[in-house]
Structure 1
């Protein structure tokens, strides 16, 4: 079964700057056979309520930083739906058909430099073990909060990379395909000026916020 031809993106609101809309339109023009799905914060709430057990919804709402919530969502949406996830400030250099094969079930690629696996862009069939393990590890991180000021380790590339390595250590035959870094440069990490227009208030950027606030609410605190 081929990877579904659908693209998922998320941002806190539907109010997107012109440059973001431009890159979305350019991406869809290159990939007319793909359906496009945009999720704002409200739609993500409904997704977790409808598609996952209550523990996932509660865990998602314990996260206090938007970037961590977006991390959790990207694994969850592809685990349930399958397809392509792309960060709202990243882009696609080539049509997806140029590097996604009909028999692919999961694509994995290194960052540049190759420290972690890329998760600003993800390509998966639904139900893949790499995503399942990542979600399980994130639930554990939210429950135990071992990294209260580190989004990267709690929900980001660190836990994603570690989860894949755990899976392959247990079963090297899990189907997947490795590509050269950044999907052989077919995807673009953070197009120019995207961050400037999307995050005009630099104090709200996750790298700063995680230094001064716990990224996970206490379990007994109202999470919504």
Structure 2
């Protein structure tokens, strides 16, 4: 089990302003910008004090206990998806900030990094054994990928895995996710799983018609993909307002491919942890909308896109290389998370200026 150390602790030198996008307001080189919360350690010296905000003509309004609005030139400061700010006449969701003084969590421990992607396939579902509807697909995956290690994780296995490799503190965060949101729990696990072991994560209904090895290059470390909008089924997929600045839309997470200990996956995990603690149902919604933003592909895509210049990430058209997100069709679950009206996170920590 990995124990936390001082490098995992985030200590804020001054209160921060958190945007709708779970990003943090900074002032760097005289410009007002946003950075992903997972990168906050790199920008602690750029967090603006009250005096710096005033120097930039920004005044702070507090219309409710945990909501703040920032005014400049009598207009509301509005966060934009691409990390910039704009000024608007009205205050809606993207104009709302939260002011946070203390961070009640730590980042994920750093793992040993390996530059090679191991031949392991990971899948997870709740039952102790895979459901019958998936057995044919699993058999096909094993046959196509002879010599690869196939690993199935039940709900119990996920809990044991997180505790064994990340400890109680991480498991406690996982358990904050409402069990009605099985997709969010699977999101949480898949990032930790490939960060620990590397390899290929596939949703239970996902599979392929060609060996995964035919997709991989020898020097691959982290592979991303996008939906092919020329395929009618996927024409509207991945086109979210939060990703409107990204050509081609989201990077799906039904398939994750990376090497163990990859620092970009650590950033994804750290952002997800922050999102879980800072999630607000009134602002980020419930059901599938909340899942996409907090743990799912919107969160993943934003973090990866903002770090493409830092790491050796290869984009691959995995749909045309034989992988298929819908090898098993028409899965009906008893508890669908899509239309949930209950919050994604149980007992959300009340994060405000008094924390």
What TM-score, normalized by structure 2, do the two folds share? 0.56
Q: Provide the secondary structure at the position in 1 that maps to 2:204.
A: coil
Matched, 1:205 2:336: yes
- Determine which of 116, 121, 124 is the counterpart of 1:7: 121
Residue 167 in structure 1 maps to residue 303 in structure 2: no
1:75 maps to which of 183, 191, 197: 191
Q: Equivalences for 1:126-165 in 2 at 5 Å?
A: 126-146=260-280, 147-149=284-286, 150-165=290-305
CA distance in 2, matches of 1:47, 1:16: 17
Q: Does the 8 A contact of 1:89 with 1:194 survive in 2?
A: no
Question: Given the alignment of the two structures, is residue 98 of structure 1 paired with residue 229 of structure 2, yes or no?
Answer: no
Distance 2:223 2:212 in 1: 12
Structure possessing the higher relative contact order (Cα contacts under 8 Å, 6 or more residues apart) = 1
Matched, 1:186 2:322: yes
Kindly provide the CA deviation profile for residues 164-217 of structure 1, in whole angstroms up to 9, marking residues without a partner as x.
02223xxx141121112x453421012243514xx2x3xx111122xx110100
User: How many pairs align?
Assistant: 209
| Structure 1 runs (4+) greater than 6 angstroms displaced | none
Aligned to 1:41: 155
- Cα distance in 2, alignment partners of residues 14 and 112 from structure 1: 35
Render the CA deviation track for 1:64-84: whole Å, top value 9, x for unaligned.
Answer: 111100001111100011000
Choose from 199, 204, 207 the match for 1:88. Answer: 204
3-state DSSP of counterpart to 1:207: coil
Deviations 1:71-129 (CA, angstroms, capped at 9, x unpaired): 01111100011000000011112101111122111111112334200210011001112
Equivalent pair of 2:123/2:151 in contact (CA under 8 Å): yes
The secondary structure found in structure 1 opposite 2:140 is helix
Residue 95 of structure 2 corresponds to: none
Counterpart of 1:52 in structure 2 is 166
Which of 206, 226, 232 is the equivalent residue of 1:110? 226
Q: TM-score, normalised by structure 1?
A: 0.87
- Root-mean-square deviation (Å): 1.7
Note closer, same or farther for the CA distance 1:54–1:167 as it changes in structure 2 (3 Å cut): farther
Return 5+ residue gaps in structure 2 as ranges: 1-114, 230-247, 350-355
Contact 2:121 2:199 in 1 (8 A): yes
Partner-residue secondary structure (3-state), 1:25:
helix
Consecutive unaligned residues in structure 1, runs of 5 or more: none
Q: Is the alpha carbon distance of 1:121 and 1:127 closer, same or farther for their aligned partners in structure 2, counting shifts above 3 Å?
A: same
Higher strand share: 2
